[in-house]
Amino acid sequence: MGRLLSIDYGRRRCGIAVTDTLRIVASGLTTVDTPKLVDFIKNYVAREPVDAIIVGHPTTLRGEESDSMRYIRPGIGQLRKALPDMEIIFFDERFTSAIAHRAMIDGGMKKMARRDKAIVDEISATIILNDYLQSRQYNI
């Protein structure tokens, strides 16, 4: 069984998280500049078995796609071209940045460290992946 990988896609950078090989827990992997995302993912998938990529799907409170999808969709399209056999799944990411900030505060992270948006993106990717794992737990 391969890992699951998640992406919190952003204009400037993308947070990335992965599961362990048993898909029990997700943990942050890194943050990558958006223009380098496809190469990073291709290299990672060449080294590690990955069964699917979960991409944060930004939606409004009404459940409609947010404006961010206009730059996410082409970026993920490039990823689909580079990895045509890889399953890519969009998963609701509402409130992940707010939850990430709250987790940083609750974890005792200093104010200066919390300003590092790369850390927020990586934590957001981890939250997306953990939420995805929990949603699958009850869909057996």
Domains in the chain, please, with CATH? 3-137 (3.30.420.140)
pTM for the full predicted model: 0.85
Rounded CA Rg of the chain: 14
Report whether 13 contacts 34 (CB < 8 A).
yes
Confidence check: pLDDT of 101 > 60: no
Give tens-digit pLDDT for 19-71.
Answer: 999 999 999 999 999 999 999 999 999 999 999 999 999 887 777 888 888 99
Burial class (CB in 10 A: 0-12, 13-18, 19+), 96: buried
Give tens-digit pLDDT for 116-139.
Answer: 677 778 888 998 998 899 888 755
Sorting pLDDT into bands at 50, 70 and 90, what band is 140? very low
- Within 48-95, where are the H helices? 69-82
- DSSP class of residue 21? T
Strand 87-92 versus strand 13-19 pairing type: unpaired
